Amino acid sequence: MKNTIWWVRRDLRLSDNQALYAAVQSGDQVTPVFIIDPRLTETQPLPQKRIDFLWGGLQALDKSLRARGSRLIVRRGDPLEELAHLVKESKASAVYAEEDFTPFARRRDRAIARELPLHLLPGLTMFFPDSVRKADGNPYTVFTPFSKAWHRTLQGNSRKLLSAPERMATPIEITSLPLPNPVGNVQFPPGEIEALHRLQNFTTGNHAPIYQYADQRDRPDLPGTSTLSPYLRFGMLSARQAVFAAEQAAQLAPDETARQGAQTWLNELIWREFFISILFHFPDVMKESFRPELRQISWRNNEVEFLAWKEGQTGYPIVDAAMRQLAKTGWMHNRARMIVASFLVKDLLINWRWGERWFMQMLVDGDPAANNGGWQWSAGTGTDAAPYFRIFNPVLQGKKFDPQGDYVRQWVPELANLPPKFIHNPWEMPHQPQIQFNVLLGVEYPFPIVDHTLARERTLEAYQHAKVAF
């Protein structure tokens, strides 16, 4: 009897799982294993909301496996040592896993492959990062040509998805640690079933939300996004499942506006692939700015202002609403992410890496590639980044994308009684309306910690000086 191991990492699903499929095809018995690596859970502890989402996802995976006659084996320790023990225990001929592309994962997997029969399969992305290149063989560093090449690659790709195995045999003698339990309330119900349910609800039917995505995706006051990022982060949904659903929605769109909505969402999935490709080819972006001429900016790095930003006490309502949403739920609307990133870097002149680290400490969907790419884009320091002189005005951003102030009222209850006229610029409100609406500036809600106009000039000068000095 031939045995194999399916090493579960960022692929907490049974459907369209190429690593699992290979393990099942190659073995009469398959041992699914998740290894709790202390380097990730203790040395660099994950945020509680993300770890709770992971534990919940593992429990959902175990339940699905048990329904098929299998079970999830949990081990704790160094992955190489634990896999070596498991290979010996199960007499496995091979270990199958979905390939990851972070610098840490690549170092780990290279070390394991030297000692064990490790086979890495696609799934985290639609295409392997090295497969979408320029004609001269160099990687793309600008999104638009990358996107065009990505689409060309997609044209010749099969649209077949892999079904979940109906039955799986796992050696009964293999021991397991108990599955950890979430300790808090999980904002996002974890698991593959929930991921597929959300994908279906977002992409199917003539009135599917995907068809309004182009118009509503920038509105944090509306439920216009898919909220699938945590599920893609942990592979409760495969990249192919998301891409094919977007394609099908575009093909079935009832009109041109709807088709544009589906294509816009697909474009966001391609951005995800682009940032993973950048991290794969340029791993140093995790340490420094992609653009060398902007590596020596004279940051202010005021810790008091950084704390105000983290706690949602900047005096700019749209920024504070977003930061409080992050603290409460472990998630933030994408437009809000851009607004708070621009504010931290270009209003407060605080190093983008401070914000990048804070997001990774807070986000349920915290993904190294997407998080780094988004922060460097906002800071103007990355590949294909927003120009460094593009600085969001937080008041205008709030008025444009939260026009009635509903998003602010939800997350900044001190301002709940304010009319739209003052909701995004309460400091302009005279004293009498402050009493009328029960919000005394400087008491119930802070004055702005920085003057946007003056801060903008300060930032432009700092960036320009760095470029000249390079």
- 375 given a catalytic annotation: yes
* Spatial CA neighbour of 236 closest among 60, 63, 41: 60
**Contacts of 128 by beta carbon, 8 Å cutoff, 6+ apart:** 99, 122
Long-range Cβ pairs for the range 342-345 (8 Å, 24+): 342/378, 342/391, 342/392, 342/394, 343/309, 343/314, 343/316, 343/319, 343/392, 343/394, 344/306, 344/309, 345/378, 345/379, 345/459
- 89 given a catalytic annotation: no
Q: Compute the Cα dihedral for 378, 383, 384, 389 and give only its sign.
A: positive
Catalytic residue among 334, 393, 417, 425: 334
DSSP string, 149-179: HHHHHHHTS----PPPPS-----TT---PPP
How far is Cα 414 from Cα 438, in angstroms, rounded to an integer? 8
On whether the CB atoms of residues 395 and 402 are closer than 8 A, the answer is no
- 358 given a catalytic annotation: no
What phi and psi, each to the nearest 5 degrees, are found at residue 322? -65, -45
Catalytic residue among 268, 293, 425, 427: 268
- 17 given a catalytic annotation: no
How many residues in total does the chain contain?
A: 470
- 299 given a catalytic annotation: yes
Residue at token pair 């602010």: 408
Catalytic residue among 6, 271, 358, 411: 271
On whether the CB atoms of residues 178 and 263 are closer than 8 A, the answer is no
Give Rg (Cα) of the chain: 24
Instruction: Return the bridge partners of 36, or none.
Output: 76
Strands 118-121 and 92-98: parallel
Catalytic residue among 267, 293, 299, 417: 299
Query: What are the strands of the beta sheet with 3-8, ordered from one edge?
Result: 73-76, 29-36, 3-8, 92-98, 118-121
- 268 given a catalytic annotation: yes
What phi and psi, each to the nearest 5 degrees, are found at residue 33? -135, 140
* Tokens standing for residue 461: 């000068």
**Contacts of 79 by beta carbon, 8 Å cutoff, 6+ apart:** 7, 35, 37, 108, 112
How many Å separate Cα 405 from the centre of its chain?
26
Catalytic residue among 55, 352, 354, 377: 352
Catalytic residue among 265, 358, 375, 377: 375
Catalytic residue list: 268, 271, 299, 334, 352, 375
